[in-house]
Amino acid sequence: MPVITTSLFGLGLLSGGILLGGVLVSIWSQSHRFWPHGTRNWTFWLSWTAWVVYVGSLFGVAYLDLWRWYRPSILIQMISFLLLLVGAAVSLWAVWRLGFHESAGLEGQLNTDGPYQYSRNPQYVSYIAMLVGGAVLAGSWMTAVLALLGIVWFLLAPLAEEPWLREQYGEVYETYRESVPRFIGRPNQRQKPQERTNTSRRDDP
């Protein structure tokens, strides 16, 4: 196995471990929050540096280790590619609706329109779909391991975000939280908030 592949895999594990450690600390203690940041403090720069390294390592390993574990059938390749395309489209839509500033974990507006009518975390759902599709398409166990780190982060992140969002937006967020599922599900129409407020600051990205 080429040294560059194992080196990128190691960098991916390290950066993914930093990200997971940060979100676990944030869940455990709101006074030592690594996510969401709220402001551009040192945790913001550490986190996004780790994300750049993680994503770069993931792409590098997927390319260099392509089909070394198994080669998916044409049907599986098509399904995986479809997951990537749909995930990318939904993520772009969600980032556009919420805004890059808020998506980066900074204070901003609460948005309940667009994809946020159906999921409080449409970006996370789309990223998970992309990671699953990409890992299956790559046919690489190293890619699968790195993708799993990202999937776990996206599943845990709302647990760190929700107490902070409750502090920021109060009753408006509580109404939204009770009416829209965290990830995927059927919105509760009886409690669905009618107001689409732009006075509060941000939503679960």
User: If you average pLDDT over every residue of the chain, what do you get?
Assistant: 90
**Tens-place pLDDT, residues 11-26:** 999 999 999 999 999 9
The pTM of the whole model exceeds 0.85:
yes
Question: Is residue 32's pLDDT more than 50?
Answer: yes
**Check whether domain 3-179 has CATH 1.10.3470, yes or no:** no
Going 55 to 61 to 63 to 69, the CA torsion angle's sign is: negative
Phi-psi sector, 139: left (phi>0), alpha (psi -120 to 50), beta: left
**Tens-place pLDDT, residues 159-182:** 999 999 999 999 999 999 999 999
Q: What is the 3-class SS of the chain, one letter each residue?
A: CCHHHHHHHHHHHHHHHHHHHHHHHHHHCHHHCCCCCECCCHHHHHHHHHHHHHHHHHHHHHHHCCCCCCCCCHHHHHHHHHHHHHHHHHHHHHHHHHCHHHHCCECCCCCCCHHHHCCCCHHHHHHHHHHHHHHHHHCCHHHHHHHHHHHHHHHHHHHHHHHHHHHHHCHHHHHHHHHCCCCCCCCCCCCCCCCCCCCCCCCCC
- Parse the chain into domains and list their residue ranges: 3-179
**Tens-place pLDDT, residues 40-64:** 899 999 999 999 999 999 999 999 9
Question: Is residue 142's pLDDT more than 50?
Answer: yes
Question: Is residue 203's pLDDT more than 80?
Answer: no
**Tens-place pLDDT, residues 81-103:** 999 999 999 999 999 999 988 88
